[in-house]
Amino acid sequence: MTDEIKNERRLGTVISGSLTQGVQVKLDPAKSVEDIAVGRYVAIRGEKKRFFGMITDISLEAVDPRALVMPPDISDPFIAEVVSGTTTFGKLRVLPMQTISAAAGGGEGPQPAKTVPAHFSQVELASQADVESVFGKEDARRFYIGTPLDMETKICLDMVELVKRSNGVFGKSGTGKTFLTRMLLIGMMQKSKSTSLIFDMHNEYGWEGTSEKEHKVKGLKQLFPGSVAVFSLDESYDKRRKVKSDFTVKIGWDEIEPEDIQMLRYVLNLTEAAVQAVYELAKEFTDEKWLEQTLQAFDSDSSVLVEKLKIHEGTWRNLRRGLRQLTRFKFLVRHAPEDTVKTILEYISSGKSVVLQFGGYDDIAAYVLVANLLTRRIYNQWREKVDRALAEESKQPDQLVITIEEAHRFLNPEIASQTIFGKIAREMRKYRVTILVIDQRPSGIDEEVMSQLGTKIICLLDNEKDVDAVLTGVAGKSELKAVLSKLESKQQALIFGHALPMPVVVKIREYGSAESYKTLGPLHGGTPRVNADKLDDLWT
C-alpha cells in the first residue's frame, strides 16, 4: 500500500476508551468531521493486533474551553487552519468488535475483540481487504446482501447458518422490508439446502410484486420457475392477474380446531368467556363438525344448548358475532376436496418452496387463521418425519423455513407460549423448522421469542419501544441504538446476529432491474427468464 493511500484513509489516533464503551479517537486536523458518518468501518493498528470496529458517535471538542465562549474569527483561512486541530478538534467513538491478523495471510482469522488497542494507535478507514477478512467473500454458502456505507465491498451472510435458527426482519412501514425479505429468501434458495413456506399476505413473493411507486418486479416464481410453487386462496384474484397458480387452497370447516379460534380472539374481538365456550362446544359436538354445527345453532333456537353448557347470553352473542365473520371467506368449505397440508408437504419434500398467496383476502383474520392452522399441522407431520429419520438412522429432511408477516399477531406475550410459531422459535433447530418473522412492531412480540431470534435485520424504526425490543440483550446496545437512529428511511439496514461475525450497516443491493436479475436466479440458471426495463426508485 502506498503512503498516499495510507494518508487518504488515515483518520486519527486513539486517545482513550474502554472495551464496553468504545475507544475515543482524536481526528487528524486534515480530516473534516463532516466527511465521517456513523456506521462506517475503521481499522486500528494496535501494537500486537489489528482491530476492526464501527464508528458509533462523532463529537466536537476543544482544548481550551474559552474558545467555545469567545469563538475565534475563522474567516481568515490561516487562522482557521491554526485553530483546527490545535484549539478545536473532532472526536470519534469507535466500538472495537473484531481482531484480525496483523500479518497478511496469518493468524486464526477474525476473533471477537476482548481487549482494546493501546494509546496513540493509528486509526484508518477500513479497506476492502479488511472487510473481506471479517465477513468473507461470496461463495457457495455466503450470499451478498449489500454494501457497507460509503464502500463498494460486498457484505455477505452465511445462509447455511442463517436458516438453522429463527430470524427477524423489522422496520416501520415503507422502509423496504418486503424487498429485503425477498432478497433473503432468494439467498436461502441459492446458498442453503433449505425450502421455504411463505405466507404471503400482500401477494408480493409469488409471481411478481410491486414497489410503492407501482413498478412491477419479479417474484420468486419468475426467478426460480422450477423450484417454487404458488398456492392461492383466491382463484378470482389469479384470473384478474392472468396468472395460474399451482394449487388452489380450500380448507374444510372440519379442519378448524378450538386452538385456531383462540388465536383469532383479538382479531374477532372475542371475550375470554367466548373462547372457553368454543372448547365446550367442541366437546359437545364430539365429531369434526363442531364448527359447522355451532354455526347452524346460531340460526336456530339455541336456548337449550346454551342452558346445557351454561353459556351466558352475552357470551353467546359475542361468539356468534365473531364466528360469523368466518363465513365471509369463500376458501372455507364444508369439506376440502384435497388435503392442502399433504400437498404442501409433497412439494416441500421434493425440494420446492411454496408461496401461499391470499389474493383479495387481505383481512388479518384470514391470514391468522390459515397461517396458524396450516403451520400447526405441517409442523406436526414434519416433526414425525424427523423423528422417524432419527430412529431409522436415515437422511433427515432439509431445513424448512416458515415466513410470516404481521408476526406480533402470532407472537405477542399473551399467546406466544400457546402458538405453534412460539413453539418453533423456542425449539430453534431441534426439528429442522425455523421461522422468519417480518414486523413493523417488534415491541409487540414476546421478549423470549425475540431473544431466540438468531439474526435480526433492522430497517429504520422511530418508536423507542420498538428499538429497545430489537436490541434487548445485545452487547453494545447503546452504541447500536445510536447507529440505528441514523439509518436512512429506505434501503439501509442494521444486521447483527448468528449469520455474520459482527453488526453491520448495509445499503441493500439492487433488486428490480434486468441487470440485478442475472445474479438473483438459480446459480445454474444462466440468462434471466424475462427481460425487464431498468426500474428506478424501487425502494420509494
Task: Please write down the long-range contacts of 379-385, taking CB distance under 8 Å and 24 or more positions apart.
Answer: 379/420, 379/423, 379/424, 379/431, 379/433, 381/341, 381/345, 382/345, 382/431, 382/432, 382/433, 383/431, 383/433
Please state the rounded mean pLDDT for residues 375-381.
90
C-alpha–C-alpha distance, residues 443 and 458, integer Å: 13
Report the pLDDT value the prediction gives residue 428, as an integer from 0 to 100. 61
Contact 176, 184 (CB under 8 A): no
pLDDT at residue 211, as a whole number: 63
Residues 6+ apart with CB under 8 A from 524: none
DSSP state of 141: S
Residue 124: is its pLDDT beyond 80? yes
Cα separation, 314 vs 327, whole angstroms? 21
Q: Which long-range contacts (CB under 8 A, 24 or more apart) does 293-299 make?
A: 294/323, 295/253, 295/323, 295/324, 295/327, 298/323, 298/324
pLDDT value of residue 7: 67
Higher pLDDT, 388 or 79: 388
Q: What is the mean pLDDT of residues 150-168?
A: 90
- Give the per-residue pLDDT at 218: 87
Portion of the chain with pLDDT greater than 90, in percent:
37
Residue pair 369/263 in contact (Cβ under 8 Å)? The answer is yes
Q: Element (H or E) spanning 337, and its range?
A: none
Q: What is the pLDDT of residues 174-225, one digit of tens each?
A: 888 988 999 999 999 999 888 999 999 988 898 877 765 667 888 899 889 9
β-bridge partners, 401: 196, 434
pLDDT in tens, 265-312: 888 999 999 999 999 999 888 777 899 889 888 888 888 888 888 889
- Rounded-to-integer distance, Cα 500 and Cα 164, Å: 13
- Residue reference for cell 347452524: 296
The Cα 91–Cα 26 span in angstroms is 5
Give Cβ neighbours of residue 220 (< 8 Å, ≥ 6 apart): 182, 185, 186, 189, 198, 205, 206, 228, 353, 355
**Which cell goes with 28?**
487528524
Write out pLDDT tens, residues 41-84.
999 998 888 999 999 899 988 877 766 666 765 666 655 665 66
pLDDT for residue 145 is more than 90: yes
Q: Are 63 and 134 in contact (CB under 8 A)?
A: no
* Kind of pairing between the strands at 216-218 and 208-210: antiparallel
H or E stretch covering 401: strand 399-405
Mean pLDDT estimate for the chain: 85
Phi, psi of 62 (to 5 degrees): -140, 135
Q: Cα dist. 20→41, 64, 94, 122, 476 in Å?
A: 17, 28, 11, 20, 7
- The pLDDT assigned to 37 comes to 86
Domain ranges of the chain: 3-135, 158-241+345-517, 253-328
Give 158-241+345-517's CATH code, choosing from 3.60.21.10, 3.30.830.10, 3.40.50.970, 3.40.50.300.
3.40.50.300
Mean pLDDT of 5-18: 83
Query: For position 5, what pLDDT does the model report?
Result: 46
Report yes or no: 348 and 359 within 8 Å, Cβ to Cβ.
Answer: no
Predicted local distance difference test score (pLDDT) of residue 104: 45
Q: Identify whether the C-beta of residue 363 lies closer than 8 Å to the C-beta of residue 207.
A: no
pLDDT at 539: 35
Residue that is written with C-alpha cell 364466528 in the block: 323
CA dist 189 and 5 (Å) reads 40
Q: What is the DSSP string of 349-391?
A: HTT-EEEEE-TT---HHHHHHHHHHHHHHHHHHHHHHHHHHHH
Of the pLDDT bands very low, low, confident and very high (cuts 50, 70, 90), residue 523 is low
* 316-364 pLDDT per residue, tens: 999 999 999 999 999 999 889 999 999 999 999 888 999 999 988 888 9
Q: Can you give the pLDDT at residue 69?
A: 63
Residue 337 CB coordination number (10 Å): 9
Beta-strand pair 247-248/22-27: unpaired
Given a cut of 70, is residue 373 above it in pLDDT?
yes
Look at 67-71, 90-94, 449-453, 535-539 and tell me which has the smallest mean pLDDT. Answer: 535-539
Q: What is the pLDDT of residue 74?
A: 65
Nearest CA to 394 out of 383, 386, 402 is that of 386
Measured at the alpha carbon of residue 213, what is the angle toward residues 530 and 371, in degrees to the nearest 5?
A: 75
What cell was used for 246? 399451482
Is residue 533 over pLDDT 60? Answer: no
> What confidence category does residue 391 fall into, taking pLDDT thresholds of 50, 70 and 90?
confident
Q: How far is CA 333 from the centre of its chain?
A: 34
Write the DSSP assignment of 145-202 as a string of letters. Answer: EEEETT--PPEEEEHHHHTTS-EEEE--TTSSHHHHHHHHHHHHHHHSSEEEEEEETT
531/190 Cα distance (integer angstroms):
20
Q: How many whole angstroms separate alpha carbon 503 and alpha carbon 500?
A: 8
Least confident of 41-55, 81-95, 96-110: 96-110
For 414-441, write each residue's pLDDT tens digit: 888 778 888 888 876 678 899 999 999 9
**What pLDDT was estimated at residue 121?**
93
Percent of the chain with pLDDT over 70: 89
* Radius of gyration of the chain from its Cα atoms, rounded to whole angstroms: 28
Q: C-alpha angle 101/139/97, rounded to 5°?
A: 35
Residue 486 has a pLDDT of 84
